[in-house]
Structure 1
Amino acid sequence: MKIYNRISIGLSCVLIALLCSSCSKNTNPQSQLTEPKTQPANNGNVEVKKNISTEPISEKPTKSSIEPFIVLKDKIHPSFPEYKFKVYGQKKDALYSASKIEVYNEVEKKVQELAFSATSTPDGNQLGIVIEDMNFDGYKDIRIQQFLPATANVPYYYWLWDKETSKFIKNNELEKITSPVFDSESKLIKSNVKGNAGTYYDYEYKYIDSKPTLIREIERIADLEKNLWHITIKELVEKEMRVTKKYDEKIK
């Protein structure tokens, strides 16, 4: 009987020990995790993956739509500080186009914005913009090439500096003049125009009552059979353009 009791007590202890061991394993969830086979040597170099949006990405805007294509600096008048001209445009195939000029003063404040129809020019350096005195008042003005014509008669958009408002004012009268040369000494605007394959014109304009007015026209018509230029000169006389001279000249 004593031996039986000892065996019974021994079996009970074994069962209790087994039960305690099982409970200990089930109440420790960390013991269920598997250790990674390898770990980074330095956690600081671990790349953290971020959530990636599945929304479509919009096309990145071109440079010309978010910042100026070129920036020019010039003094409108010797007594003025340097102004900055930001020209917005872009390259289109072999040509260049502009659509806006922003004018900034010496403290980088935008003082004016000149918007216009899109232009076309082969000039990639300045997009066809010219800053010079165009009405001979001592202040620089702005013009920009409108488009590239089939002939050499290049048209421009014009803005003249207005001293009273300290702004550039668009001038439609000057737009009639193509390929201009502004002669500050004679205070004349000169223009050479091709009429057709054998006809050419030289024009001279003078500001009269603040408007560019045609004062002289030279017409040259080629006569290839006779190797001559038929030349007709017209001049402004009593507010009318009149023929003042006609002659022939050998084609050189």
Structure 2
Amino acid sequence: MNKIFTVLGSLMIHATSKVKKSFAFTVILSVLLSGCQKDASVSNGETSPAAAPVGTASPVVQTSVSLEATAATEASIAFKEREPDRTEENITELIRSYQRELVHAINTNTFSYVEPYIIPGSSLYQAQKELVASLYARKIKEHFVDSEVYNFTYDQDRYKVEVTEQVGVGVAEKGEKINNYQWIYTVEPSGGKLKLSGLEVWKTYEKDMKQRNAGAKANGYYARELMQSYSALLESSVNTLDITDLKHISSNETVLERQKELICKLRSFGKDYTIQASIESEDTESEDYILEFRYRYKDFEGREQTGSEKLFFQLGEIRKHYRGRAVIEYISGTDSLPALQDAGGTVRYKILRMHPSMPEYLLRIYARPDEVGRQNGRYVTEQMDLLLVDPTGEKVLQRIPVEQAYTWGKSGVNPVVEDMNFDGYEDIRIQNGTPAGRNIPYLYWLWDQGTASFVPNKDLEEIVSPVFNPVSRTIETMERVGAGAYWEGTYQYKNGRPVLIKKVERVVDPEKKVWVISLSEEIGGQMKMKKQYEEPLMDE
């Protein structure tokens, strides 16, 4: 039996028929519970109540809907998806592969590693062939650190791609330095594939960044833009069954499934939908919206009907450089929203999947402003609920008490979900303080597959601003100790606990105008200094 969109609440189709109220309730309930199920129908000779007109719109036929004809099922409805345009993704992967293989080629004097990514005979081909041989002869070693693609422009079958990259460059006995580059790559088709043909310095990088950052949209811009256009997206998907656009704005499978179930339910009533929506309420800080939908459609006997519905949305904004978009992180009916004891409180929702073999779960986080926060926007998280979402509703599996986890603003009440002990299962952490500097503390809960629950972890709480690296299975941190002093650390799990294995301390010597850098490593259970040297302040 397919999941039904029960959590979105009942459609508010206003009965104007003379059918008895008790039967009207039975029919509406039957449609809600069977609208997307195979062979779902009501065949007793009765008819359902017709929908009432909305506002002062043109009159509609107020006759009954034949439920035998409205037995649209998810099994019989074939949702469609357009083939997405992956050109930008393919170009990004092309450039990153080229960058990685170029370093490999330089370090081994093997141009063939990078050759497949460049168009033979192009200016880039010969230049990079000479570069590989030259750097190898000079005993220069490189390693690829990172890169960012900023923008794509298309002109006459060629793409110009703005890219920044970081490369570690070292010479034997002289150490390594991270170099930053800004390039504009030329990409064009060759032999049925996209390949590189040119490379030039991005000379206007600083100017471009200032202009673009100045034109960046304010927080909440993309969220409101999505809500204003959502009714058109939904209308198109209901009428065409093409869910490509809905999938693009859904941050998880649960959100997409709930929209598919809504489409299924609406299709069970009729076709040729016209849908309009208005924003009934919005909280731009937490990006919470309630939309009221009003729609017209034709039932399966060709009669025009109307209906309305209210839905709750919690959105998130994805920003990269000066561009961005909004996605739906959670959607439900307004009747299923939890009550708040504090009028100024907030509830955040996080859909998570602890493991690919497991279903998606809902994490519901409760927070309220503390006494300080009522004046300056500080919130304290008090509780998290882990819920299983199934066709019968949302069931609490675990209630997680939280002690004094502070953050700024409603948007800060947002847990981080990732694998923090490298066991293949997602874990959660929430911010636990509002420091002025970069030292962000967290509270941690690791997923325990044995008990099927989240278990608090005190060891990780010693690590501020962590970066978890699943490839090296290490945890990186950077902590400011004071003015002109900070340290970077690398942790590795040993016997189930994170252990500091490397430490780089940097302290300013104001008289000598240098950084004094100390390198330490864990040996035999203790940190021991391996090296100390100085770097000019101007290099920072």
The two structures share one fold, judged by TM-score above 0.5: yes
For 1:126-145, what aligned pairs fall within 5 Å after superposition?
Answer: 126-145=412-431
Match of 2:347 among 66, 69, 76: 69
1:102 to 385, 391, 401: 385
**What CA distance in whole angstroms lies between the structure 1 residues aligned with 2:530 and 2:434?**
34
1:206-245 matches, within 5 Å, as 206-245=492-531
AA partner of residue 82 (structure 1): E
Residues 64 and 88 of structure 1 are in contact (CA less than 8 Å); yes or no, is this contact kept in structure 2? no
Indicate whether 1:82 and 2:335 are aligned.
no
Structure 2 distance, partners of 1:106, 1:224, is 59
Instruction: Please tell me whether residue 183 in structure 1 is matched to residue 469 in structure 2.
Output: yes
Q: 2:457 pairs with 171, 182, 191, which one? A: 171
Partners in 2 of 1:78 and 1:143 — Cα distance? 20
Distance 1:142 1:152 in 2: 20
Answer whether contact 2:516 2:534 (CA < 8 A) is retained. yes
Deviation at 1:113, TM superposition (A): 1.1
Shift of 1:63: 4.4
1:203 to 460, 471, 489: 489
> Aligned to 1:137, what secondary structure does the other structure show?
coil
> 1:96 is matched by which residue type in structure 2?
Y
Cα distance in 1 for partners of 2:414, 2:366 equals: 12
| Higher-RCO chain (CA-CA 8 Å, sequence separation at least 6) | 2
| Identity rate, percent | 36
Structure 1 residues 119-166: Cα deviation after superposition (integer angstroms, max 9, x where no partner): 211252251421111001111001111111233211111100011111
Alignment RMSD (CA, Å): 1.7
Greater fraction helix: 2
State how far apart, in whole Å, the 2-side matches of 1:180 and 1:63 are. 34
Q: Which sections of structure 2, spanning at least 5 residues, go unmatched? A: 1-339
Q: Distance in 2 between matches of 1:128 and 1:226?
A: 44
Residues 348 and 414 in structure 2, CA contact (< 8 A), matched pair in contact too: no
Residue 210 of structure 2 corresponds to which residue in structure 1?
none
CA distance in 2, matches of 1:144, 1:173: 15
Pick closer, same or farther for the CA change 1:126–1:153 going to 2, 3 Å: closer
CA distance in 2, matches of 1:114, 1:61: 18
Who is 1:125 aligned against?
411
Q: Residues of 2 paired with 1:175 and 1:166: CA distance?
A: 22
Amino acid at match of 1:234: S
Residue by residue over 1:76-109, the C-alpha shift from the partner in whole angstroms, topping out at 9 and shown as x without a partner, is: 1111111101000124232222111000123322
TM-score, L = length of structure 2: 0.34
Unaligned runs of 5+ in 1: 1-59
Work out whether residues 161 and 167 of structure 1, in 8 Å CA contact, stay in contact via their aligned partners in 2.
yes
Residue type at the aligned position of 1:94: G
User: SS in structure 1 opposite 2:411?
Assistant: coil
Instruction: Please give the secondary structure, in 2, of the residue aligned with 1:174.
Output: helix
TM-score by length of 1: 0.72
Answer yes or no: is the 8 Å Cα contact 1:64–1:89 preserved in 2: no
Write the distance in 2 (CA, Å) between the matches of 1:163 and 1:239: 30
Which residue, 399, 402, 405 being the options, matches 1:113? 399
After TM superposition, the runs of 4+ consecutive aligned structure 1 residues lying more than 6 A away are none
Q: Give distance in 1, aligned partners of 2:344 and 2:477.
A: 33
Task: State how far apart, in whole Å, the 1-side matches of 2:524 and 2:342 are.
Answer: 55
Contact 1:121 1:128 in 2 (8 A): no
